Structure 1
């Protein structure tokens, strides 16, 4: 089977499918992975296609039939719910364990190099372009939020964006402040979400709320895909293999840096002028 989750591969190959098969793919992506556990007949009805079309669809992705397809989904679900403890006790950490006579330094270089290469190989160029377009649009407001281990990544990207443009905030943690921020969301808003396994329920709710109000979501997640992906316009699925039982965020940081590079280029002189003015004000007020 190919690398990456089924949702990842469907998203990348939608353009190569027939119109009827694309309908199956969109139904699966809109309710992933739950829709994949329905019967062939139920999935066909939801997509308004025939049962043979559903079977052709799963065959396109290398499955020998619908039971094989659902077995693959079950294996993904087990991986999605993995914790540091379960990974510690596992006999396989997605390539993260050391080989015989391998030093820690060599192990780290091997694991992280492979994860970075695979992440960038599987990153759709149009998603990167669209993220830069959304985050660089001065008419849009940008809000960022992360999770237990990824909140600092949301803050890291937010600090870069604040230096390059106006209208950037990190979603508050306290309920009253958060509710106040959500109240004003609409078509001009962009939400940047970081959500990795074990996924946090509020992230799907936030993306769904903004989608209903006509806004856009940019999602950073792992290859098993946060449930928020069903409501995201841009999905950056990064590899998380690490030498330790903890999921690595090294590839995520590399994608963030790439997005920032794209924004600097896209914003051009406007970003340059803002950086100059920010530096002047910081010096004038004794902040640097």
Structure 2
């Protein structure tokens, strides 16, 4: 299992730290990731601790020293900001030399075997590494019929937002996808309140507007459920629930297969939670669709 993002490591280890070390951790998180590139002296001054305390803190995280910590942070940020093009250029694309002998490129048998391994491992690591309390809380929020659900995704993940939204619409009322037109979006964002839940799908090359949406919901007392990758979208700072997925794929494109597995797991939990109420809502929808001749 890949190491957790450094910011997440800091959050989870704060409870093990001395009071002085916790000050360092909080200063780092307050302006992450820029704070990670400050000098030891600057961090110590801002946290009102000694320089050795800063060094003890990064040592507690498992780094040999501050340069080692900063090198790991640079590597993480490079991975976090990677695009399919940069991954392709770096050699992450399928190598035609791995062909199983079929003419004209990569062989089917080799590709299928590689895909089976990559997808199986990615889904397995995602589901076994998912915090159970976050999954439970996501199900609670999305199954709460007193809450209004709004879903939004990105360039590719918008498809998954629609997928989850269409399932929710079959099971309960007050579910909507964030509109595409700016006027409609502004109206929806301006109407967020305490009973609102915003579901965001945001993966690397994160989209700045998703952070703004999450901030608006949080400021107005609503809740945010985030589906993201293991590097964590900046939306995580405003989310009550964060569901991270592996993105390994046999191509330079990040895979959404593990995210789909998490999405369907959440749907299964919502079905169980809603029980007979969900069944009645689904039946009513089927009856209306048949009467209207939709199918």
TM-score normalised to the size of structure 1?
A: 0.89
Change (3 A) 1:220 1:148: same
| Equivalent position of 1:56 in the other structure | 56
Tell me the CA shift for residue 39 of structure 1.
3.3
Tell me the CA shift for residue 67 of structure 1.
1.7
| Equivalent position of 1:206 in the other structure | 213
Tell me the CA shift for residue 243 of structure 1.
0.8
| Equivalent position of 1:118 in the other structure | 125
Contact map agreement 1:143 1:191 (CA 8 A) in 2:
yes
Matches within 5 A, 1:169-188: 169-188=176-195
| Equivalent position of 1:83 in the other structure | 83
| Equivalent position of 2:104 in the other structure | none
* Local SS of the residue matching 1:63: coil
Q: Distance in 1 between matches of 2:184 and 2:88?
A: 38
Tell me the CA shift for residue 191 of structure 1.
0.7
How many correspondences in the alignment? Answer: 285
For structure 2, list consecutive stretches of 5 or more residues without a partner in the other structure.
Answer: 101-108
| Equivalent position of 1:259 in the other structure | 266
Change (3 A) 1:253 1:55: same
Contact map agreement 1:31 1:230 (CA 8 A) in 2:
no
Change (3 A) 1:49 1:272: farther
With a CA cutoff of 8 Å and minimum separation of 6, indicate the structure with the bigger relative contact order: 1
Tell me the CA shift for residue 55 of structure 1.
3.1
Among residues 222, 227, 231, which one is paired with 1:224 in the alignment? Answer: 231
TM-score normalised to the size of structure 2?
A: 0.87
Contact map agreement 1:97 1:243 (CA 8 A) in 2:
no
Tell me the CA shift for residue 165 of structure 1.
1.2
Tell me the CA shift for residue 23 of structure 1.
5.5
Change (3 A) 1:193 1:42: farther
Tell me the CA shift for residue 36 of structure 1.
2.0
| Equivalent position of 1:246 in the other structure | 253
| Equivalent position of 2:16 in the other structure | 17
Tell me the CA shift for residue 104 of structure 1.
0.5
| Equivalent position of 1:197 in the other structure | 204
Among residues 224, 229, 244, which one is paired with 1:237 in the alignment? Answer: 244
| Equivalent position of 1:163 in the other structure | 170
Tell me the CA shift for residue 51 of structure 1.
4.7
